[in-house]
Amino acid sequence: MIGRRLTAILLQKGCRVSHLGRKGSKGNVPSFQWDPDRGEIDVNAFKGIDTIIHLAGAGIADKRWSAERKHEILDSRVRSTQLLLEALRQNPHTVKTVVAASAIGFYGMGLDDKFYLEDSLPGSDFLAEVTRRWEEETVKFSTLGIRVVAIRIGIVLSTEGGALKEMIRPVAWGVGAPLGTGSQYVSWIHLDDLCKVFSMAVMNVSMQGVYNAVAPKPVTNRDLTYAIAEVLQRKIWLPPVPSFILKVLLGEMADMVTLGNRVSCQRLLDTGFTFEYPELKGALIDLVRTEPT
DSSP 2-31: HHHHHHHHHHHTT----EEESS---SSS-E
pLDDT at 292: 44
Question: Is residue 293 one of the residues assigned to a domain?
Answer: no
pLDDT at 288: 86
Indicate the burial class of 125 (C-beta count within 10 angstroms; 0-12, 13-18, 19 or more): middle
CA distance 90 to 102: 25
Over residues 82-93, the pLDDT tens digits come to 999 999 999 999
| pLDDT grade for 24, boundaries at 50, 70 and 90 | low
Over residues 203-228, the pLDDT tens digits come to 999 999 999 999 999 999 999 999 99
pLDDT at 166: 87
Query: Is the model's pTM score more than 0.75?
Result: yes
Return the closest-CA partner of residue 9 out of 190, 280, 206: 190
| pLDDT grade for 26, boundaries at 50, 70 and 90 | low
Sign of the CA dihedral running 92, 151, 271, 139: negative
Question: In total, how many domains does the chain have?
Answer: 1
Compute the mean pLDDT over every residue in the chain, rounded to the nearest whole number: 93
CATH number of the domain bearing residue 28: 3.40.50.720
Owning domain of residue 55: 2-287
| pLDDT grade for 293, boundaries at 50, 70 and 90 | very low
pLDDT at 22: 83
Q: Is the per-residue pLDDT at 61 higher than 90?
A: no
What's the mean pLDDT in 131-148?
97
pLDDT at 223: 97
Question: Is residue 165 one of the residues assigned to a domain?
Answer: yes
What's the mean pLDDT in 56-68?
90
Question: Is residue 292 one of the residues assigned to a domain?
Answer: no
| pLDDT grade for 101, boundaries at 50, 70 and 90 | very high
What's the mean pLDDT in 108-120?
95
